Copies of this chain bind each other. A is one copy, B any other.
């Protein structure tokens, strides 16, 4: 499955055909008859080339990491080694092929009607299985890579490996935990409406105190192997299917960063709905569905995660040895504490992700697609104000429902 070219060369529509023909693992996936090859470049992200390659009978995706940030140009360099960590994280889910020198990954093409979840949320589509699937994904990936399941030896060896993905961590640190809180040439916002809001973020001492704690947790706490970029643009959906993509930011970090990324982006979708409302659809019911889904994601995550923990009494996890945590009352006590701490982390990171999408460098289509600037600014301001409140007051919430109620209250 793994191979390596002699040197790096960016793919293009012509070279990719040669590349596929010279690579048995890709040729066999496509069924050998390559006469009628259809190739489409669809990378709409900030970083990579993404090609959908199809024959009449088969298809795959070829993703290539470039040695710079695609959306910022070649001057913002970025190790293409991120594709190594993406391939490592993908091993269990649809990885066909990996070429380290070319930073090329061959993987499953998620055929139509799969769309990016963010686009579905903008269109107002309900996904009845989203909470079930995402809570399952997060509970399993986070639990099984943590010290609840792993021995110290397994954990430290995995931590050491993913320390190599440092450039992606640096990028996250900069765009999420730094740029929104300082003057930065890359940051922008819906001007002039949000000029003073952006300035207020840069002058908010209490907010900066909180973001420092979250940043330190991001940089120092190797709690689990996290996806690292789990927003609604990293999930492909149909009504029945939910597929997480793009784990190139993966490293050992705090669990709350993944859950917070996802929930924070659902909150952004929620606040953008007023900008997508029209006479035919006021989006009121849809907004309620989003909030219900957030509550359901957390509640199901809690349930699934603690069920895995309950079942782990014979596992080798170092954190809570059964000989020590040996009575029902204590087991409940440690689980409730763990989940509550995780909720506070989750809310903090959710807020950080929201803030950076409004006054930082990379915005979200949820808001960007609202064409009336004043309306967009109004939606963004609501989201920003709520995010600031949540970041500062997250520790007072005992349950997700309290946080969601506070947001509804705040939003009135």
Contact B221 A220 (CB under 8 A): yes
How many A residues touch the partner, as a band? 35 or more
Q: Scoring A residues 158 to 170 as 1 if CB is less than 8 Å from chain B, else 0, what string do you get?
A: 0111011011011
Q: Tell yes or no: A182 within 8 A of B by CB.
A: yes
In the bound complex, do residue A325 and residue B208 qualify as a contact, i.e. CB atoms below 8 Å apart? yes
Given A156-B166, A166-B153: A320 touches B220 (CB 8 Å cut-off): no
Given known A-B contacts A160-B163, A216-B319, A333 and B182 have beta carbons under 8 A apart: no
Number of copies: 2
**Cα(A209)–Cα(B320), bound, Å:** 10
On chain B, the residues within 8 Å of A319 by CB distance are 212, 215-216, 219
- Please tell me if the beta carbons of B324 and A208 are within 8 angstroms of each other in the complex: yes
Interface centre among A157, A205, A320 (most CB of B within 10 A): A205
Are B219's CB and A330's CB within 8 A?
Answer: no
* Proximity string of chain A (43-60) to chain B, C-beta cutoff 8 Å, 1 when within and 0 when not: 000000000000000000
> Would you call A2 an interface residue if the criterion is a C-beta within 8 Å of the partner chain's C-beta atoms?
no
A147 interface residue, CB < 8 Å from B? yes
A159 to chain B, nearest CB (A): 6
A319 to B, closest residue via Cβ? B216
Interface string of A190-228 (1 = CB under 8 A from B): 000000000000000100110011011001111100000
Q: Inside 8 A of A213's CB, which chain B residues have their CB?
A: 337
Q: Could you tell me the distance between the alpha carbons of A180 and B187 in the complex, rounded to whole angstroms? A: 52
**Which residues does chain B contribute within 8 Å of A222, judged by CB atoms?**
220-222
List A residues at the B interface (Cβ < 8 Å): 147, 152-153, 155-157, 159-161, 163-164, 166-167, 169-170, 173, 178, 181-183, 205, 208-209, 212-213, 215-216, 219-223, 318-321, 323-327, 329-330, 333-334, 337
A221-B221 contact, Cβ under 8 Å, with A160-B164, A209-B337, A334-B212: yes
State whether A219 touches B323 (Cβ < 8 A).
no
Q: Which DSSP category, helix, strand, loop or mixed, fits chain A's interface?
A: helix
Task: Choose among B153, B161, B323 the residue that contacts A182 (Cβ–Cβ < 8 A).
Answer: B323
List the B side residues contacting A166 at CB < 8 Å: 152-153, 156-157
Give the distance in Å from the alpha carbon of A169 to the alpha carbon of B153 in the complex: 9
A339 CB to nearest B CB, Å: 13
Cα A327 to Cα B330 in complex, Å, equals 45
Choose among B169, B208, B212, B215 the residue that contacts A156 (Cβ–Cβ < 8 A): B169
**Roughly how many angstroms separate A351 CA and B15 CA in the complex, as a whole number?**
64
What are the residues of chain B within 8 A of A219 when measuring CB–CB?
A: 147, 152, 155, 318-319
Question: Contact between B321 and A178 (Cβ–Cβ < 8 Å)?
Answer: yes
Contact pick for A163, options B147, B163, B329, CB 8 Å: B163
| A167: B residues at CB distance < 8 A | 153
Which listed residue (B153, B178, B321) contacts A324, Cβ 8 A?
Answer: B178
**Which chain B positions have C-beta within 8 A of A329?**
205
Task: Give the one of A147, A153, A163, A223 with max B CB within 10 A.
Answer: A163
Q: A166-B157, A318-B173 are in contact. Are A183 and B323 (CB under 8 A)?
A: yes
